[in-house]
A and B are shown apart, each in its own frame.
Chain A
Amino acid sequence: MKVIACYSIKGGVGKTATAINLAYASALDGLRTLVCDLDPQGASSFYFRVQPSKNLKADSFFTRRDRLVRNIKGTDYPGLDILPANMAYRDFDQMLASMKKSRRRLSQILQSLSDEYDLVVLDCPPNISILSENIFHASDQVVVPIVPTTLSQRTFEQLVQFYKQSRLNKKELRPFFSMVEQRKRLHKEVRGEMRARYKRFLNSEVPYSVDVENMGVTREPVLATMPRSNAAVAFSQLWQELKILRQGKSDGN
């Protein structure tokens, strides 16, 4: 089982859209896939029309596998399940801080699902916290959507710094450009600069798209509703790129 996190310190960068489209592409490829909605706002859950988990408290999330499993729901797509979000997730940090091995808790609980799933996609809340550290430890790849603006550039640098300080493996950070507008000069400049600076940028770029915005209305992955749209093609390419990386990694083991 592999774990991919869709993570960003900043909100509104297309993180959830990325998570659910990657998960959809994975299930389409025949991988048993679970989306784990860690964001208390529950955007992934909303996109899959799934109500929040009712009886899953923050503490049992990390300690009670049976309760967690009971809250998993099938989406409308074969091979794709979701663990919906819950407002109680706001207490994650407080919860984790009081636990032993507080940085490995997520990793542990996710590994207990490895006989059921081939891939877990984490949709993460936009902040940097003990939960984020858990996410970094648990993931094989941390996919970071970056809108090519100066501010995004800064927050990504903060993330890289955090990785350095925490002695995490920087190679697992996989930034890509999201909500790209070809006509904006700033977008072009930032992309050029950042690609020159960070070698591990993914090649795929997801354009800014009305179709992605409309996902809030259709409540389905754009890959399912408009598989030929520019955004869908970009997500599909992004998945292919990550898939190659995943295979490369597991072959190396």
Chain B
Amino acid sequence: MEYERTWRVEESSLESSVWADIVNPFTLQLEQRVRNQYQLLDTFEGGIWKQGDMLLYNSISGHRGYELWKRADFLSGLPLTMAQEGRKKARFWWEFATQEGNPFQEQIKSACKLRALLEVHSFNLEKIRYAVKNEDLKSVAWLELITLRNRATDDVPESSRQFVRILPLRGYDHELKKLQKKIQQMGLPPCSDQWLEKYLVESGIEPSAYHAKPSIPIEADDPVRDMVLHYIRTLLDIARVNEAGIIEDIDIEFLHDYRVSLRKIRSILSLVRNIFSSEQTRWLKREFAAIAKRTNHLRDLDVYLLEQENYREMVPAALSDGVDELFTSLVAARKRELSRVRRWLRSTEYRNAIEKLQLSLAGEGEVLGVGDKAEQAVITVARREFSKKFHKVGKLGSRIDASTPDEEVHDLRIECKKLRYLLEFFGGLFSRKMQRGAVSTLKKLQDNLGRFNDLSVQQESLEAQLKAPDQKQPPLLAAVGGLIGALNHEQRMERARVTETFRQFYSAQTRELYAAMVSEGESEKTTVQSERSESRVKGDYNPGDSKEKRVKK
């Protein structure tokens, strides 16, 4: 029989006659008492939690510092890594004061990315360890009494949780079983090894509750209007959850997610037509566009500041003073722009506008009117729109060669983006494999086009710097000039790759994949077919192509 290892208890000490009876013929000897004051830290998305780890800041003197734990090992083994407290409180993964060779930063890097660390929860943890001794006074196991106390609700008695767990000692299996059996017989409620998770859930803490991408169940036969309403409502909720983070300027991803959600709403409004009255659709589009526009400049500045290191590397050392100056002015501009966005988000104007939108979207009835396509089945609309959009992307892309004007490349980028949103919106209708296939092939093209676009946006706004009427110092002007040149060079390189990336995207394999998606008899069979065609297409490739690609890389 398997015995439990952890139980819920009510007492704050094991030095009682009850426990003396439980462990008899063994005796308990107090060995160690440890107190920790922990802060659970994570990003807004709970990135560290999602990777199965847990970042704790211990503020008890003597143990002060950061501990990164594999959650399953918490209090059983040792932390994965530790970092000392630096002079300044670390908010981003790169700000932790670690010595060379300490993998701490690396271990949280991919979980945090650009996200700041926030305090998710504060709790005290007290651990009292008792050795279970036999008649020789040799330890045969340990019992640990663990008390967790929610610091946010310190005065509420129910805010504390107590657990007893038994720790085995090698070679004393017999004694361990005997103890487990006796504790079990006491009728104590057993507790899984995830007692810390359990405690957090009971305290209402869920570090990974936020998801930037909505996951909405999708049914092929549902009327499309309901589906779109549900989708937009969810996206708007996501956008609004990010408002506080933008106002507090916690990290730049709050604004990013806020804007992406709004952009998806606007896309879906233009992609799926005639589901509301045309007047109401126009109103929705206008309102969302106006709201999104308010944050354009702040996002541009965020992207710039992200590029700081790249910019420095792009220009010769002689121009670096000018780059410094440029970034000083950008930082100042961001500060100004942030307070403008803050004021806007806090304004009654914004609040009224967004609440009115939410109200109309929540209306079950006719608030937004019913267009003539409102009742169409989701799958019908999905097939139609995929077909249209894929053909449009195909048409635009096939026209592009070395002499095509940049505007047409931008048009292609926008259509690709719409196709991507369609995939996100309707993707759930198709098999996982099809979804993934469609997204991954499109993503490569989008990355190429996206970089091309970013580089052109960056040049434009640097050019605007040159034209601005304010007095600028020669070093700054020189740096701006140097940067424009370098960016232009990079942009041309990106541009040169477009024809080839498009060709890779618009392969026979992709065309078959979309054909399968838009055809009536979509099934597993079609997936298999497209797999077979993949090998055939590969066989058709001119070996010279791949070589060329490698050289470019």
Binding site for B on A (CB under 8 A): 48-51, 70-74, 76, 81, 219
Contact = CB atoms under 8 A, between A and B. Distances in A.
A72 B172 CA distance: 10
A163 to B, nearest CB: 35
A74 B138 CA distance: 10
B172 A74 contact: yes
21 contacts: A48-B138, A49-B136, A49-B137, A49-B138, A51-B136, A70-B171, A72-B171, A73-B169, A73-B170, A73-B171, A73-B172, A74-B139, A74-B169, A74-B170, A76-B131, A76-B138, A76-B139, A81-B170, A81-B171, A219-B136, A219-B137
Nearest to A48: B138
- For the residues of A in contact with B, the DSSP-based class is loop
Given A72-B171, A74-B170, A76-B138, 17 more contacts: A49-B136, A49-B138, A50-B138, A51-B136, A70-B171, A71-B171, A72-B170, A73-B169, A73-B171, A73-B172, A74-B169, A74-B171, A74-B172, A76-B131, A76-B139, A81-B170, A81-B171
Contacts of A50: 138
A81 B171 CA distance: 9
A70 B136 CA distance: 21
A49 B171 CA distance: 13
Contacts of A81: 170-171
Contacts of A70: 171
A1 to B, nearest CB: 17
A50 B138 CA distance: 7
Contacts of B171: 70-74, 81
A219 B136 CA distance: 10
B177 to A, nearest CB: 15
Interface in B144-186: 169-172
Interface in B211-266: none
Nearest to A82: B171
- For the residues of B in contact with A, the DSSP-based class is loop
Nearest to A49: B138
Contacts of A74: 139, 169-172
B133 to A, nearest CB: 9
A203 B38 CA distance: 46
A175 B175 CA distance: 41
Nearest to B136: A49
Contacts of B170: 72-74, 81
In the A-B complex, the 9 residue pairs with the closest CB atoms: A73-B171, A49-B138, A74-B170, A74-B169, A76-B139, A49-B136, A72-B171, A81-B170, A74-B171
A49 B131 CA distance: 14
Contacts of A51: 136
Contacts of A72: 170-171
Candidate in A71, A72, A76 with the most chain B CB atoms within 10 angstroms? A76
Contacts of B169: 73-74
Contacts of B131: 76
A219 B171 CA distance: 19
A53 to B, nearest CB: 10
Nearest to B142: A76
A219 B134 CA distance: 14
Contacts of B172: 73-74
A224 to B, nearest CB: 12
A70 B170 CA distance: 9
A58 B53 CA distance: 47
Candidate in B136, B137, B138, B139 with the most chain A CB atoms within 10 angstroms? B138
Contacts of A71: 171
A65 to B, nearest CB: 15
Contacts of B139: 74, 76
A70 B173 CA distance: 10
A38 to B, nearest CB: 18
Interface string B478-494: 00000000000000000
Interface in B496-515: none
B129 to A, nearest CB: 11
Candidate in A50, A51, A73, A74 with the most chain B CB atoms within 10 angstroms? A74
A74 B137 CA distance: 14
A51 to B, nearest CB: 7
Nearest to A30: B78
B137 to A, nearest CB: 6
Nearest to A70: B171
A184 to B, nearest CB: 36
B514 to A, nearest CB: 53
Candidate in B131, B137, B169, B171 with the most chain A CB atoms within 10 angstroms? B171
B538 to A, nearest CB: 44
Nearest to A71: B171
A34 to B, nearest CB: 10
A72 B170 CA distance: 7
